[in-house]
Structure 1
Amino acid sequence: MTLKLRVDEDSVDMRKSRGEISIDQCIKCHMESTFKPTSSIQAVMAIICNTSVIYLLLLLSCFRFEFCGALDTITSAKFIKDPQSIVSNRSVFRLGFFSPNGSTNRYVGIWYNTTSLFTVIWVANRDKPLNDSSGTVMISEDGNLLVLNGLKEIFWSSNVSSAALNSTAQLLDSGNLVLQDKNSGRIMWESFQHPSNSFVQNMKLRSNIKTGEKQLLTSWKSPSDPSIGSFSAGISPSYLPELCIWNGSHLYWRSGPSNGQTFIGIPNMNSVFLYGFHLFNHQSDVYATFSHEYASILWYYILTPQGTLLEIIKDGSMDKLKVTWQNKKSKCDVYGKCGAFGICNSKNSPICSCLRGYQPKYTEEWNSGDWTGGCVKKKPLTCEKMNGSREDGKVDGFIRLKNMKVPDFAEWLPGLEHECREWCLKNCSCMAYSYYTGIGCMSWSGNLIDLQKFSSSGTDLYIRVAYSELAEQRRMKVIVAIALIIGTIAIAISICTYFSRRWISKQRAKKETREEMLSLCKGDIYPNFSDSEILGDNVNQVKLEELPLLDFEKLVSATNNFHEANKLGQGGFGSVYRGKFPGGQDIAVKRLSRASAQGLEEFMNEVVLISKLQHRNLVRLLGCCFKGEEKILIYEYMPNKSLDAFLFDPLKKESLNWRKRFSIIEGIGRGLLYLHRDSRLRIIHRDLKASNILLDEDLNPKISDFGMARIFGRKQDQANTVRVVGTYGYMSPEYAIEGRFSEKSDVFSFGVLLLEIVSGRRNSSFYHDEQSLSLLGYAWKLWNEDNMEALIDGSISEACFQEEILRCIHVGLLCVQELAKDRPSISTVVPMLCSEIAHLPPPKQPAFTERQIGKDTESSQLRQRKYSVDRATITVIHVR
């Protein structure tokens, strides 16, 4: 019995591959396929087969295969009806119907699809809402995109006069809705050119200098009403473009001119403040745009109904939106608050004052708090009295105002800074000038409007004043200079006296501390380690947190006189022993060798640091002992020793399945995040490696060895050292070569450690391999060959978590990039590992990937000078 199925070559299968028919049409086409049974049995089988095809199609549609039409596209044959929606290709944005909070009206809009927080960035029918749920979004016969109600009345249209008949509307991952000709791909209309109240990544706010046309953000009337409100924002169409906010037709706020990357009238704005922000001036078109290296980050700007521009970013892994910047922070941010020639300073009371040489125009209004009338000159300028000519020795000059927001209506002039001054001085109408790198010379004639004084940033503004004002200023400078000289001498004597006494006090304190430590080491010790029992009654309570001292004789007894049988590990620093107190408590005793490179400074550094840190992924310090040349640290005992004892042992590594390895990676990342961001002290570890990761009885990781750690200030980004210490192979290139260390140094070490955990191989195991200098070089080679699976440890290669493992390798390569600025911070790495940041950027070539000439004696000696190979590390448990 033969069953034959005939399908026309240009029928359903060809059309569904081009995305031209819906799922219902697919089913219909398959039902209408021609079957020719030769008997009644064949007819029954044809019905069964035909039904199977239908069920198969329904099943496949559940998996979102796009053979019947793209899920991000609206075509003439595919429309959406309330409450249906479409989603962009990578599920970043969604377009559909919504109702604002407090309203029952229905609108068509676009919002972020990657968070449970409802964040609408664009609305179609803003001023004409639907009053029920009968709305439809479709492509009309003339090719336009329409929003219709149940009676087929048009509530919104793309309104393109030359729309193609065969057009489609697609929602892109940028949040842009584009109407394009399906045949040619020509874009006829896009939502980015018709914004609502939101400015998102890769959107462009345009203005045209010649025509004055502006592309504007427009505020909602209220949080429950998306219709066009009173405020609008955009780029001013001028040769010195500014970001402006208008209230109706009146200017409400301005950013100051742009130098191409920043607006100089926004305090503390720099390339870090707005990463990826750019302003372009192309012929007569000016436009602003911004983007982030991780495009999936929820980051946008919104113009509120009150006229405030807010920068909003999703707060890490939490479903919480965080306002990280706003344009209006004080009353001085309102345009022209102090009128002409008035200067606004939010730190002063009252906030408005007149420029030097000026006085209030309307005194009564000014004193009552109405400053809009501004100020006028007390005396005419010298050039005005001389009709533009000069009188020897009596010419106008300039006073410098620092940290200023420059006034409105600037004129741009070519030339250098000294030429700018000369030009302004020669022109009596020039009231002020300023020179800013990236912009050049700016001058002002007429009224100076919207002057503002900042506490920092801004620029220098030079105000023209009469000769008489300058003469008074010179006299004041002489008086001030004399007072400063006398004061400086007095201060210098006081400082010398202070530091002399302080030096003497420090020397005396060091001596007393050493004597106190020696005497305290003679006290008794008990297993519960309470402060009073450890230190006795003679120690100031303030010191207990920093220096818990234990009795040396008790440690000797606990370790059986540091017997070889109790030795857990040994390194350049000395040895680690297992000990047990009479009560049964196990401890790990680290006894520094007298010949160890680790001295009193590192010893005290570790005691002070780790005693202040409390985290489940940091090892806990129980106490220390200092007696003669003996320097001893006592830690909680870790029964499973260090990570390298498991990871690089052919037998033990079998017990580390992928779930356990990933748990260790997460634990190390959380511990490092605590050190960098969450602890009271901001700590840079500087010696993160497998042997410094201890494992408890449940194989939970704990970071140890803080002898090389350094404290960073909250505003400090990096530091330098002339003494490079650590372990070669884990050190970042900028630290190993130049002595510069930062949070990114620890991130580099974490990346090496991550690749070791995934591969089960030491970074140094490739030293004699001619193909790669290190594990980093090998991983980079496999990345370029698209063969990352070859890096995975054989003991976990059969696991069903391959996508997660490959993501970890990807993150590891991002962490070990050669330049510190290219590496993500640990606060970004942790959500990357947990897939909270969905899309990862491609890594750049890691450091130390190219083989050097190892036989060159001179270069070998140079390396020995630059790198400290394990001489000063403090590995607690395992023998290297």
Structure 2
Amino acid sequence: MKRTSRWSVVHILSVILFCYTILILSSPHCCSARDNITIKSRLGYAQTLVSAGNRFELGFFDPSRSSNVKRYVGIWYTTNPQTVVWVANRGKPLSDNSGVLSIAGGDLKVSDDKGIVYWHTDLGLKRLNLVAKLEDTGNFVLLEYRSKGKILWQSFDQPTDTFLYGMKMDENFKLTSWTSKEDPAPGNFTFKKDPAEESQFVVMEKIITHWRSMEPETGKIFESDVMPSTILNFFDLSNNRPEVYSDKRLVMSFTGDLQYWQLDIDTKNWSLMLWFPKDICGVFNFCGNFGICNSKNKLPCKCLPGFKPKLPEKWKAGIFSDGCSRKNTSCDNDFLSFKRMKVRNPDSFEAKDEKECREMCLSNCQCQAYSYVRQRDTVLCLTWTEDLKDLQDDQDGGYDVNVRVVLSDIGATGRNCETCGTNLVPYPLSTGPKCGDPMYARFYCNNDTDHLSFNAPSGSYNVISVDPEARIFVIQMQSEKPDNCFFMKSSGSRILQLNESSQFNVTSWCSGDLGNFTTDSSLNDTVAVGISWKPPLEPTCTSSAECKDWPHSTCNKTGNGPKRCLCNANFRWDGLALNCTPEGGQSAESFHSNKLLLLILGLSLATAMALFCAVVSICVWRRKVVKRRAKQRKAALHRYDTERGVKELIDSNKFKEQDETGIDVPFFDFESIIAATDNFSEENKLGKGGFGPVYKGKFPGGQEIAVKRLSSVSGQGLEEFKNEVVLIAKLQHRNLVRLLGYCIRREEKILLYEYMPNKSLDSWIFDESFSQQLDWETRFNIILGIARGLLYLHQDSRLRIIHRDLKTSNILLDAEMNPKISDFGLARMIQGKQAEANTLRVVGTYGYMAPEYALDGLFSVKSDVFSFGVVMLEIVSGKKNMRFYQVEHAPSLIGYAWRLWEEGKALDLMDETMRASCNASEFLRWVHVGLLCVQEDPSDRPTMSNVVVLLGSETVSLPIPKQPAFVTRRTLPTTASTSSKAESGFEITSTVEEGP
């Protein structure tokens, strides 16, 4: 019995020991999860890797948690709720549970059971001893097992939207937001180092700057935009206490906010410590140029006094980014002073006093504003010569800024009250007894805070904007139901207690839409109320001297009221126009007729004086011309008298049409040209094309020239020759080639140009050795120079010219690589408001001709825009449009560029020789502009004036380009060719490949 009992006890103890062993082995402390995979192991969708310190976890996750399965491979903190810090296949999720993460073919891969790859590292390593490990820093690394931990790839080099300590913040680093809270695909916002400012940072919304940090020194009054030392230390890898930053992360949010989070060790909850931008006024240039932002106002944006919204409809809808523009662009000497203002990017100079600072600004018409600042022992004069950006008012520590204005634009009179902050106080509104009209004395300006307030019977309300033209001001008031316009309309009048006899009427009770932005939370229960004022009576006065601002009036008293500036006989008071208008014995028509007569007499006298001055000027000019021609006759070149030479040419019937304007280009005799070119020797030949050879020449004295000798069998006949001579004679621009002279002798037709030592653009961008010398800045200047030259032809010159044959071989480069547009033989002049013309004879070059011109003979300035777009794409890619099919098997360079743009791979278009010097965001913007220029419909293409603005500004938004006009051809000529199409078909002649 005892033996049986003893056996039972031993059996029970054995069972207990077995269960305890099983419990211990199942404990996570004993059986920890793995932190790596090898070639022989892989990770399925239901499995995870956990870092050694149990801080991070890697596996498959679905952020949407919906019935529509989207599985991603990501890394997250092991704490709850799940906080994802990195995503592998963020743009290509799996739609089922068959996904695996494995090492295959020398790469990390995410694939499904069908072998479809959703993400891979693209290393192609031919090694068998690879291991992928999740580290306690959150870094997922691919290592060579036997090479002492040599890292071959790491997730820290390919971050998504989160920065963790240990990542390297350099010029190539960037964070890209998620598309939404439930979609980790790349979103609209990117955080990176600012390429324009060293040691500063920027958040981009696609290609538009959303937020930009400021340096601590220059940004001392922009403290909200200075990157805190907390985050800067977080970026510093040299910090010897990494554990301090192990529970912190920096996130580029899909909302556009840069967020700095910290984990509470005790509660395991994340706290948002810092974020940028701080408010809507922190968004870069939120109110646009010359727009003032104040996040304390329900309507945060308004224009500076003397300015108006560029796009009023957008402004009313709460879209302020287009900013404001001056009502008048004249260069006046008057300034309005605004206190406590924030403005970016001033130029800084030392000045002894404010007067010297003001004079410095007055001496430059480009100066928009100035500020006189004392900083410690230094006195600085700050000036702004570009449009004022990021203006913010009511800011502690801000500048006192003096902005240049035209007084007529702000309706300035001797009776106006002084500006209160950024608010004008126009007549008749009054802030005191010495200005405005006493009947409108409901306003108070606090000079300490620069706040303007409106005193209603029910209380005082902050005025946030004043519109003198519309006679409306907007106040901000509390409301129980700020979003209920009907409630405000029914209760607002009662609240303000404005009766019918008041000079003020409520016009609107609801504020504008602020889109995705919100103002200060303290404004959630406020509403913006619009109030108009009634036209005033005649101004009050004590003497007629006070009526000088109101012509045709005299200070008189009527009845028991105060004295007023009453209108004289035949005039009546107009309260809207604030002046005396004619009436009574003399009708308004008669009054205006007399004014018109005086105006005509004045103009006649002015015209007579102008004619007299013109005659005197012509006489002086003719004397100078005679003296100059006398000297020219003695010169070795034997130049003919220009006017006589032109007359002889016209009378000789060699020109088929009369030239009434004359030719202002010197005529050279044939013998002098033979001497300059050494009888057109082969050694001096620069090139040869369908129009004939081009030679280098040198005149006595050392002047180098390029001589274009038109062949008698050339496709360019007498009409094109005369066209080029006459047109270039009328054009003068630094980006157009200069015509020095011409010569006609029997069948010889010769043009003399300034010599371009660097020849034509195509000889540089399409040559492997020369193209390496064209860095991004040089190409930038070349493109911008071509654009400015075309803008001059289309808009700014005395004649409106369409070039019709713009191509890289017709762009010449001087010694400093400045571009010069040449070859105007095919150019045409359009007159007056003529927008386009047509022709039965189509001339131009394949690959550069716009489709409407090549097919229908219609040409306009938009035809040149198309050609410019092709040239622009050739410059940035280093590839020829005509020969492109031989390289990429695409119909044309335009087609290839469009395909890359559609696929989001536009950077692949970049010429490899300039990749090191290129700014990626600028490159994408320029490709964008190029595709806008080559759109099929001419009306969709921008004008050259628009192109110059788009190329020179980072803040101007770009429209989405439509499919361009590229044509698929069966065969293409192997060299650039000029096409001349009549009704019977095409005639092909090659053009000069190398120019002067």
Q: TM-score range by the shorter chain?
A: 0.3 to 0.5
Q: Which structure's relative contact order is higher, taking Cα pairs within 8 Å and 6+ residues apart?
A: 1
Which TM-score applies when normalising by structure 2? 0.43
**Rg: which structure is higher?**
2
